[in-house]
Amino acid sequence: MKIAMIGTGYVGLVSGVCFSDFGHDVVCVDKDPGKIERLQAGQVPIFEPGLEALMTKNVAAGRLTFTLDLAAAVAGVDAVFIAVGTPTRRGDGHADLTYVMAAAEEIGRALTGYAVVVTKSTVPVGTNRKVAEVITTAHPGAEFDVASNPEFLREGAAIDDFMRPDRVVVGVETERAKKVLADIYRPLFLREFPVVFTGLESAEMIKYAANAFLATKITFINEIAALCERAGADIKAVSKGMGLDGRIGNKFLHAGPGYGGSCFPKDTKALARMGQDYAVPMQIVETVIAVNDEVKRRMIDKIVDLCDGGVSGKVIAVLGVTFKPNTDDMRDAPSLTIVPALVGAGAKVRLVDPEGRREGETLLPGTRWYDNAYQAAHGADLVVILTEWNEFRALDLEKLARKMQTPRMADLRNLYEPDAVRAAGFEAYVGVGR
């Protein structure tokens, strides 16, 4: 199959590379000349394990190319995927569809024969019908179908998620479009991964409902963690006991500083706004959003309390600033709330992150960056574990404690056992829900 992928951000690039690895001919399009130049030179603009090697393999095989020319990329294709950003719109919480509709208009003008125009971006219910209207207006004689194919890629595990998915969701309205998408995903059919064909609106809703539910699980366990701290229970034991129930499952039941990233914050807000527009308030989702914001503020209080009620003049080493490990993504990361609050209160904040420095230097001013935890902890009053990178899971705690001015730890990911931390020489330790 011949495929054009519009947008080389996280979703577009991963999807384009993986489709080419399925054996399809893929052209990835972007408006950013600098990004296309880097891709053509074999440089991946995002950090995602395994992506660079897979991209290099398929470029060498002649199945994957990159261009600024949308019209040339779209001419004669079987399917065009829209994978542009849908950030939260300023002021009202809606998903901003500016880039989606601009792409649809350009695609409409460029179509030379029948193609399926597939929205992979996360978009509110009803968007694909609007995409069809925009294409028809731009090219009244265009022969096409629209389809919804939301992505469910976890940053840090996106290649595996694409190649071995829990499910693929495809919203279509015609048998012709269904056949095109079935041919594109044929390698997954052959390996018997679930492919769910449904209507446009249902496919659009599945994405939002899934992300909102996962965000709710995270927020629920964080609320239980706060209660555990007051009641004397241990959230790790509680999470394990809950997760063994097959109806609940153990995923997304890890207490911490709240969810962040490119999906959950904007998708929960968009779903809440959708509910308001349809006069069906999403009361649970609205509460999840509010509680998640409160969780981040509660982490700041933990840090301040551990510093005897004030952080002014204190040297604080923060380990991890990305919203999760194995990514360089800083979008809505808890660090963007916690670190500025500490800096604003007069703390001298030192930062360590394997992949977050490139964006973090701009997003977290007034801080200093270090290469590893031991350098950052030298002479520090407090170490804060904020992102559970593997290199922070097996620290030499005795060495860390010896380097510090006052060895104290705020373990906001519960990576360590409190007794082990104290036995290593730390005079104070706090976790989450313990």
pTM of the model: 0.93
Query: pLDDT (tens digit, 9 = 90+) per residue, 311-351?
Result: 999 999 999 999 999 999 999 999 999 999 999 999 999 99
* 260 has binding-site annotation: yes
* 253 has binding-site annotation: yes
- 235 pLDDT above the threshold of 90: yes
Mean pLDDT of 219-238: 97
Nearest 5 degrees, angle CA 94-CA 97-CA 101? 160
pLDDT of residue 404: 97
Catalytic positions are 263
| CB atoms closer than 10 angstroms to residue 35 | 18
* 153 has binding-site annotation: yes
Structural domains for the chain: 2-198 (3.40.50.720), 200-434 (3.40.50.720)
* 162 has binding-site annotation: no
Quickly state the pLDDT bin for 384 (edges 50, 70, 90). Answer: very high
pLDDT of residue 90: 82
* 266 has binding-site annotation: yes
Query: pLDDT (tens digit, 9 = 90+) per residue, 254-311?
Result: 999 999 998 999 999 999 999 999 999 999 999 999 999 999 999 999 999 999 999 9
Listed residue (69, 67, 71) closest to 109, CA to CA: 71
pLDDT of residue 37: 96
Mean pLDDT of 177-185: 97
pLDDT of residue 216: 98
Strand partners, 80: 4, 117
- The answer to whether 348 touches 339, Cβ cutoff 8 Å, is no
* 155 has binding-site annotation: yes
pLDDT of residue 358: 92
- 155 pLDDT above the threshold of 80: yes
- 73 pLDDT above the threshold of 80: yes
pLDDT of residue 89: 86
* 207 has binding-site annotation: yes
- The answer to whether 57 touches 68, Cβ cutoff 8 Å, is no
**Helix, strand, or coil here: 195?**
strand
Q: 196-217 burial by CB neighbour count: b if 16+ within 10 A, else e?
A: ebeebeebbbbbbebbbebbbb
E strand map for 74-167:
79-82, 115-119, 144-148
Quickly state the pLDDT bin for 228 (edges 50, 70, 90). Answer: very high
* 56 has binding-site annotation: no
* 327 has binding-site annotation: no
Mean pLDDT of 393-421: 97
Query: pLDDT (tens digit, 9 = 90+) per residue, 366-381?
Result: 999 999 999 999 999 9
Quickly state the pLDDT bin for 93 (edges 50, 70, 90). Answer: confident
- 106 pLDDT above the threshold of 80: yes
* 139 has binding-site annotation: no
* 379 has binding-site annotation: no
pLDDT of residue 424: 97
Q: In Å, how far are 8, 216, 248, 361 from 289, measured between CA atoms?
A: 29, 9, 21, 27
Listed residue (325, 303, 305) closest to 316, CA to CA: 303
* 154 has binding-site annotation: yes
- 362 pLDDT above the threshold of 80: yes
